Amino acid sequence: MFVMKNGKAIKVRLEGIDCPELGQDFGTRAKQFTSSMVFRKTVVVKECSKDIYGREIVRVYVEGLDLSLELMKAGLAWYFNAFTSDPALAAAEKAARKQKIGLWSMPNPIPPWVYRRQHRREG
């Protein structure tokens, strides 16, 4: 996702979650959900770290809501605990799975990191 910082668009990654890729089931829905939450709104961005590609890993808050947590509640992301241990995100994923919300309505959703590995570009 991109956020405006000092008048420039910068690419960021949301901390603690991994959304489906656009080519996956619910990928477009996750993008639409994110856009509807943040488009033309002032957001608060809390920088957490940087990934190996130099992108900022952030938490985005809009109107008091944590975007990562809202995506989890909607069943539009996986909890990505490799670099964080947020019990709220873990609980939100567990609840979405139990209620079969979003991507959890599918019998065997493919995690985005597996999808990316399977669809890596040669070259």
Which are the catalytic amino acids? 13, 21, 55
Which amino acid does the sequence have at 36? Answer: S
93: tokens are 């994923």
Instruction: Kindly report the three-state secondary structure assignment for every residue of the chain.
Output: CEEEECCEEEEEEECCEECCCCCCCCHHHHHHHHHHHHCCCCEEEEEEEECCCCCEEEEEEECCEEHHHHHHHCCCCEECCCCCCCHHHHHHHHHHHHHCCHHHHCCCCCCHHHHHHHCCCCC
